[in-house]
Amino acid sequence: MLRKAPPTLVIPILLLLIAVVAAFLKGGVQLTWQGLVQTGRLLETVWLRLPLGFALGGLIQVLVPRAVIARWLGPASGAKGILIGSYTGIVMAGAPYVMLPVVASLYLAGAGAGPIIALLTGQALLGIQNLIVWQIPFLGVGLPLSKYIVCLFIVPLVGFAGSGVFKLLSRLPDLKPKADSEVSRAGQKEGDEKR
């Protein structure tokens, strides 16, 4: 039995189809093929990082007890959880395909929306490797440091505001990834239907 595709999967598929049609209309089969070749080159550079990121995310789920995550980053952790999330982002290095499985694992293990939003924002705005390796060498010290100091205060505010917005939007479908028990029940139900 076919399951309904989640919106998080439908949107990228639609964008891919639009891009393929646009490439074909612009340059025919040749341009479309060039796009697929570029896709292969991109995959060649990141393919190993993807399973490593997923493996790390999975291991975090089994190594870090849910009670620890709930205490430090859970919905009831309040300002403490948002501050931890905000400033953990400073040291979280890595591309999205490495970092996001880790963040998703924390979320599935019970981290609250506010701390997760703060963590994502902190990594994007406060990542120390970005400041040292890219911003200061290209822009000098003054501009990046000015932005950085302001962002130290903004990131927790984004965590608090994001938590409130998340509560308002919590009725939307597919807003939170399925918990482990839901995934295993869905897989068991699917297996029963195939028999």
Cβ-proximal residues to 93 (8 Å cutoff; 6+ apart), any chain: 127, 128, 129
pLDDT digits (tens, 9 = 90+) for 117-152: 999 999 999 988 888 888 998 899 999 999 999 999
The domain total for the chain is 2
Does the residue 95 lie in any domain? Answer: yes
Residue 2: what pLDDT?
58
Retrieve residue 91's tokens: 């040291």
Residue 24: what pLDDT?
93
| Model confidence at 193: pLDDT above 70 | no
31 lies in the same domain as 62: no
pTM of the predicted protein model: 0.67
CA 111, CA 96: separation in Å to the nearest integer? 19
54 lies in the same domain as 130: yes
Contact 159, 117 (CB under 8 A): yes
Residue 182: what pLDDT?
47
Residue 175: what pLDDT?
56
75 lies in the same domain as 169: yes
CA 41 vs CA 34, 36, 47: distances in Å? 11, 9, 10
Does the residue 11 lie in any domain? Answer: yes
Residue with tokens 């620890």: 68
37 lies in the same domain as 93: no
| Model confidence at 192: pLDDT above 50 | no
Does the residue 1 lie in any domain? Answer: no
The pLDDT of 17-24, averaged and rounded, is 94
| Model confidence at 51: pLDDT above 60 | yes
| Model confidence at 189: pLDDT above 60 | no
Residue 49: what pLDDT?
73
Does the residue 98 lie in any domain? Answer: yes
79 lies in the same domain as 41: no
131 lies in the same domain as 159: yes
Does the residue 12 lie in any domain? Answer: yes
76 lies in the same domain as 172: yes
Does the residue 2 lie in any domain? Answer: no
Contact 84, 115 (CB under 8 A): yes
| Model confidence at 176: pLDDT above 50 | yes
CA 84 vs CA 42, 43, 132, 155: distances in Å? 34, 34, 22, 11
* Structural domain span for residue 16: 7-47
Q: How confident is the model at residue 184 (pLDDT cuts 50, 70, 90)?
A: very low
